[in-house]
């Protein structure tokens, strides 16, 4: 297993503290492996393996307890009998009806440390928040960032000279350009399983198809049915809305505009229905909604905003492996990096134009424009204009994938996309 130190570090930070550790994220982003890595960490610390109990709730071994949280509670108590401070790992716990009551009972009745994974944000519903009264911490995972992708591909850039900063050494000793690896990452994305070897279009298509179908059917349609929510029942409509959002990453679009577009295609769909389906897609971690921020008025706006997909490779699978949307795909990747780096992110609104991202962390802010390139004078002026209109003293930058530019223009940093993603 290849460590993902950032996420593992968050679990270790709360180890043996009286909070339930809840790992969330889209399917196959690495949640189960993270639990395995945490178990390895415990063993290295000297924890006896028999004190580490795994419950993989999608296994047929747990069919008898999946519909009865009391049976789950009893099963765990029986397996933990005689163990001092057991570590309990529950994988895909949202499969168990009423699971939160079992978990809260175990937390109260048993001296233990609890870790949970789930592929649907409904896992952290208001019911759970009320029941556990803040006694949980969420660790939300994403597919791989570009730096993590290099780790999984066995590429290293350490030890190379400054003149070799655009090169990487692969595990077999071959030398490749970072640009070529980044091109693969932009095309195929960063799901861990696919990132362990040279990407292949046919295997990528097959993998993403099963992933997408599983999320749509199991994590959304079946789950809504199990919990008696009858609003999300139309698989075709769910897929059409998902494809619309995927095709429009980086574009501002409201619920009403999406519903209008569907109606123009002879789909009689109410705004409220579209809103419910979008919420379901977001709860399955396929998309994130980024709200607009009025930079001058210093307030978050209620309308529009943008949505970004969890992985650009999944988007390319659904929309075709085309290069015409390279700029918006890059924007999606930069957004994912900002979230990974623990920024709170908004879309910046100004009369002078839009700032792609207003990112804030620990009271510090940065304004970011993202562009495929701006070698043309008109393009450069268009990208720089909104940043020049921002009147405060926080840093401003343009992230560009291609082209050669000064490191700074009128106080605005110009950063190569690869350098930005690698923190250089």
Strands of 87-91's sheet in order across: 52-56, 87-91, 113-118, 20-24, 136-140
What global pTM score does this model have? 0.94
63: pLDDT strictly greater than 70: yes
Instruction: Indicate if the pLDDT at residue 23 is higher than 90.
Output: yes
Cα 375 from Cα 182, distance rounded (Å): 20
Distance CA 20, CA 413 (A): 42
- pLDDT of 3 > 60? The answer is yes
User: What pLDDT is stored for residue 127 in this prediction?
Assistant: 57
Average pLDDT over residues 38-63: 94
Q: Which of 161, 216, 172, 156 is nearest to 422 (CA)?
A: 156
Q: Which tens digit of pLDDT belongs to each residue from 311-342?
A: 999 999 999 988 888 999 999 999 999 999 99
Measured distance CA(230)–CA(250) in Å, rounded: 31
Q: Lowest mean pLDDT: which of 129-133, 182-186, 341-345?
A: 129-133
In angstroms, what is the C-alpha Rg of the chain? 23
Mean pLDDT, residues 281-298 taken together: 92
Element holding 414 (H helix, E strand)? strand 412-416
Ramachandran quadrant class, 144 (left: phi over 0; alpha: psi -120 to 50; beta: rest): beta
> Which pLDDT score is estimated for 230?
64
**Residue showing tokens 């208001």:** 126
CA distances from 161 to 113, 155, 171, 330 (A): 46, 15, 18, 27
Residue 267: per-residue pLDDT: 76
Q: Are 27 and 46 in contact, with CB atoms under 8 Å apart? A: no
State mean pLDDT over 130-153: 90
Beta strands in 25-154 (DSSP E): 52-56, 87-91, 113-118, 136-140
Please give the torsion angle defined by the CA atoms of residues 91, 92, 94 and 97, in that order, rounded to the nearest 10 degrees: -60
pLDDT band for position 227 (50/70/90)? Answer: low
Instruction: Average the pLDDT over 271-291 and give the result.
Output: 93
Contact of 47 with 86, CB cutoff 8 Å: no
More confident residue, 396 or 391: 396
pLDDT tier for residue 128 given thresholds of 50, 70 and 90: low
Using a 10 angstrom Cβ sphere, with 0-12 exposed, 13-18 middle and 19 or more buried, the burial of residue 21 is: buried
Length of the chain: 424
pLDDT attached to residue 313: 97
Q: For position 418, what pLDDT does the model report?
A: 96
Mean pLDDT check: name the lowest of 30-34, 83-87, 226-230. Answer: 226-230
Is-contact 172 55, C-beta < 8 A? no
DSSP secondary structure, 195-220, as one string: GGS---HHHHHHHHHHHHHHIIIIII
Is it the case that residue 48 has pLDDT exceeding 60?
yes
Handedness of CA 275, 130, 336, 358 (dihedral sign): positive
Cβ-in-10-Å burial (0-12, 13-18, 19+) of 415 comes to: middle
Q: What is the mean pLDDT of the chain?
A: 91
pLDDT for res 122: 66
Q: Check: CB of residue 378 under 8 Å from CB of residue 407.
A: no
For residue 153, count CB atoms less than 10 angstroms from its CB and return exposed for 0-12, middle for 13-18, buried for 19 or more: buried
pLDDT greater than 70 at residue 130: no
Residue 162: band (very low, low, confident or very high) from pLDDT cuts 50, 70, 90:
low
Least confidently predicted of 65-74, 109-118, 356-365: 65-74
């Amino acid at each position: 297993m290849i460590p993902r130190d950032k996420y593992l570090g968050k679990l270790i930070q709360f180890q043996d503290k009286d909070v339930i550790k809840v790992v969330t994220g889209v399917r196959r982003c690495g949640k189960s492996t993270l639990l395995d890595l945490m178990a390895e960490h415990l063993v290295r610390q000297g924890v006896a393996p028999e004190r580490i109990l795994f419950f993989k709730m999608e296994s047929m071994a747990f069919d008898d307890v999946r519909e009865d949280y009391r049976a789950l509670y009893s099963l765990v108590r029986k397996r933990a009998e005689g163990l001092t401070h057991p570590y309990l790992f529950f994988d895909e716990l949202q499969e168990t009806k009423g699971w939160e009551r079992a978990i809260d009972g175990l937390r109260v009745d048993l001296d233990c440390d609890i870790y949970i994974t789930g592929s649907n944000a409904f896992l952290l519903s208001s019911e759970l928040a009320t029941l556990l009264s803040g006694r949980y911490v969420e660790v939300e995972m994403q597919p791989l960032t570009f730096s993590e992708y290099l780790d999984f591909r066995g590429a290293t850039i350490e030890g190379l000279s400054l003149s070799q900063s655009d090169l990487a050494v692969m595990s077999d000793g071959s030398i490749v350009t970072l640009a070529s690896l980044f091109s693969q990452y932009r095309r195929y994305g960063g799901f861990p399983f696919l990132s362990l070897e040279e990407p292949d279009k046919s295997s990528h298509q097959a993998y993403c198809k099963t992933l997408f179908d599983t999320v749509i059917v199991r994590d959304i349609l079946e789950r809504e049915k199990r919990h008696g929510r009858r609003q999300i029942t139309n698989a075709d409509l769910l897929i059409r809305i998902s494809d619309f959002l995927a095709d429009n990453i980086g574009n501002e679009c409201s619920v009403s505009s999406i519903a209008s577009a569907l109606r123009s295609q002879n789909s009689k769909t109410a705004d409220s229905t579209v809103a419910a389906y979008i919420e379901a897609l977001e709860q399955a971690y396929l998309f994130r909604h980024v709200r607009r921020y009025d930079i001058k008025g210093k307030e978050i706006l209620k309308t529009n905003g943008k949505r970004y997909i969890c992985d650009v490779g999944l988007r390319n699978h659904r929309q075709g492996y085309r290069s015409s949307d390279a700029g918006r795909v890059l924007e999606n990747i930069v957004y994912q990096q900002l979230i990974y780096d623990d920024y709170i992110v908004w879309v910046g609104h100004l009369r002078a134009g839009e700032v792609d991202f207003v990112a804030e962390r620990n009271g510090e802010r940065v304004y970011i424009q993202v562009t495929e390139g701006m070698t043309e004078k008109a393009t450069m002026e268009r990208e720089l204009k909104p940043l020049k209109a921002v009147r405060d003293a926080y840093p401003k930058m343009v992230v560009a994938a291609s082209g050669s530019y000064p490191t700074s223009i009128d106080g605005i940093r110009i950063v190569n996309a690869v350098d930005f993603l690698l923190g250089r």
